[in-house]
Amino acid sequence: MTDLKQLRQQIKDRLDRETTESLLSYLGYEIQRDHKFKLRPEERTASASVDRNGRITDFGSGWAGDPVALLHEHHSQTLKDATQYVATALGISYE
């Protein structure tokens, strides 16, 4: 099995705005044309955005991270599960 740290690096190497937005859309987020989206369902306006490198930034809290960090911190997945989920979505083998 691939080391978790190596797997995270492989994911980061593949991320860009389009890839991150596709993952977010698959998770149920509605991405606007200006690359902004509502991070929390109760929000009325977009509270986060995706930069050209595929990093997500929350305007309110200042939190920033990649899709793995989003799953881990905002969807309560373990870091291992979040990493494996994103790796699978990107077609990265880790077995």
Are residues 18 and 53 in contact, defined by beta-carbon separation less than 8 angstroms? Answer: no
CB contact at 8 A, 11 and 92: yes
Mean pLDDT across 14-38 = 97
Residue 94 maps to a domain = no
User: What pLDDT does residue 42 have?
Assistant: 93
Whether the pLDDT of residue 1 is over 90: the answer is no
Number of separate domains in the chain: 1
pLDDT in tens, 30-89: 999 999 999 998 999 999 999 999 999 999 999 999 999 999 999 999 999 999 999 999
pLDDT, position 94? 86
Residue ranges making up the domain that contains 14: 4-89
CATH number at residue 76: 3.90.580.10
Residue by residue, DSSP assigns the chain as ---HHHHHHHHHHH--HHHHHHHHHHTT----TTSEE-SSTT-SS--EEE-TTS-EEETTT--EE-HHHHHHHHS---HHHHHHHHHHHTT----
Entry pTM: 0.90
User: What per-residue confidence (pLDDT) applies to 85?
Assistant: 97
